[in-house]
Structure 1
Amino acid sequence: MGYYAFRIIGALIILLTVWAVTFSRGLLVLVMVLAVPSILQHLFFHPHSLGMLPFINRILSIGFDLIIIAIISQHIFKTEQPNSETIFGALCIYLLLGFTFASIYSAISNRVQDAFYLAPTLNHHAIPDRFDFIYFSFGTLTELGTPGITAVAPLARSISLLEAILGVLYMAVLLSRLINAYRGVETSNIGREEKIYAARRGSRE
């Protein structure tokens, strides 16, 4: 029951994502087209489904995630002065990166046999599922490690290395820079308000 509830919630999140990026009218049609395979993947395709159709569906789902990341990134970089919305957008991109790489790992596992190894002492199943790939992705992205699951295929190892580097650079460069700029804007606003208050108080005296 919980498994199917999670899949339905995932499909609803995709619909909310489409609604959230309606500010980009030019790419709205493309986003809606790519959202259909992503919803189908969450509702109908089993995580262990093999064959060309599930693989193509996963690729289109990855394309949907990348388009959403690109749209939000463009919206963030267009903002001259960072605000709370900009910070939340940057955090959403970070989370989307984790889910996107999880979909990439799932696609690799679909095409490459034994691309990932699950330690039998830490897992009750032998074939990795969607939850395992999410766990592996965010463990790699945050540099926390992923006990119990290991990338074995060279392609899977290369992608995981890329994700680890991207996660470190994202947190160290982009997100920290946005937060510092946001603090600077808030400090300048507070200083401006204090000057206005002091000027008004001086004029009254």
Structure 2
Amino acid sequence: MRGSAHDERPTRFAMLLLSLLVLGGASGFATTDIGELVANIAASAVLLAGMASLYHNRILLLIGCVLLVPALATRWTFFWLQGSALAPVSILFSLLFTVFNAGALFLYIQRRGSPTNDTVYGGICVYILLGYCFALVFMLLEVLSPGSFAYTHEVPVGIAQIESDLIYYSFVTLTTVGFGDITPLTPPAKSLTMIESVVGPMFVAVFIARLVGIRTSR
């Protein structure tokens, strides 16, 4: 009974959704010093809100803590020291937590019964987290193998610019808009782009079909 009472909180995923939207807006301005600071604060808020969304399960919460601490520590250590060797480590820990967060939320939503505002917010969060997961993978690929992507504009310099461009590229791919101003060059980049362009519409179709199916069956 105590768990079900917690599940009815309407703001369960609202804060995570809000922080994800703020991060999306802030990432476009991360090319300046102030913008980079704001983007780091927004990214940290996403990690903390993602952690808060796991409170319904103590085991998930414990695993989340184990992943969250190094993700936050390496992100801010890199921000202050700007050591190139720390970049892939910071990206990797953020990726691990984001993948875990998205997977945990997806399983929680799938196990719920009738759809509520809470589960709808959660589904939107999972969809946006998918975009950030792919963005982090693209960033890791570009850092470890520079030149994995071609740009019609000036080539980004520094992690902040790479992050800004590849978050944009990831969501353009996830939504199948495909403006073409950033192009994958290497086989891994092409394969990951293809996978994301399939996963995005498929998730939306399956999620909406599930909501409609449950609604009509009741």
Instruction: Report the TM-score when normalising by structure 2.
Output: 0.75
1:1-26: CA deviations, max 9, x gaps?
A: 12211211211221121112111211
The Cα RMSD (Å) is 2.0
1:38 to 59, 71, 95: 71
Question: Retained in 1: the 8 A contact 2:75–2:90?
Answer: no
Unaligned runs of 5+ in 2: 1-33
For residues 29 and 69 of structure 1, do their structure 2 counterparts lie closer, same or farther at Cα, with a shift above 3 Å needed? same
Distance 2:214 2:117 in 1: 8
In the other structure, the counterpart of 1:179 is 211
2:174 is the counterpart of 1:141:
yes
1:50 to 84, 108, 115: 84
User: Percent identity at matched positions?
Assistant: 24
Deviation at 1:37, TM superposition (A): 2.9
In the other structure, the counterpart of 2:186 is 153
Distance 1:56 1:30 in 2: 19
In the other structure, the counterpart of 1:170 is 203
Distance 1:90 1:164 in 2: 18
Unaligned runs of 5+ in 1: 189-205
Deviation at 1:58, TM superposition (A): 1.7
Q: Which moved more, 1:33-42 or 1:109-118?
A: 33-42
Q: How many residues align?
A: 180
Deviation at 1:106, TM superposition (A): 0.5
2:94 is the counterpart of 1:61:
yes
Distance 1:165 1:49 in 2: 35
Distance 1:28 1:79 in 2: 19
Query: Which structure carries more relative contact order (alpha carbon 8 Å, separation 6+)?
Result: 2
Distance 1:124 1:110 in 2: 17
Distance 2:171 2:70 in 1: 23
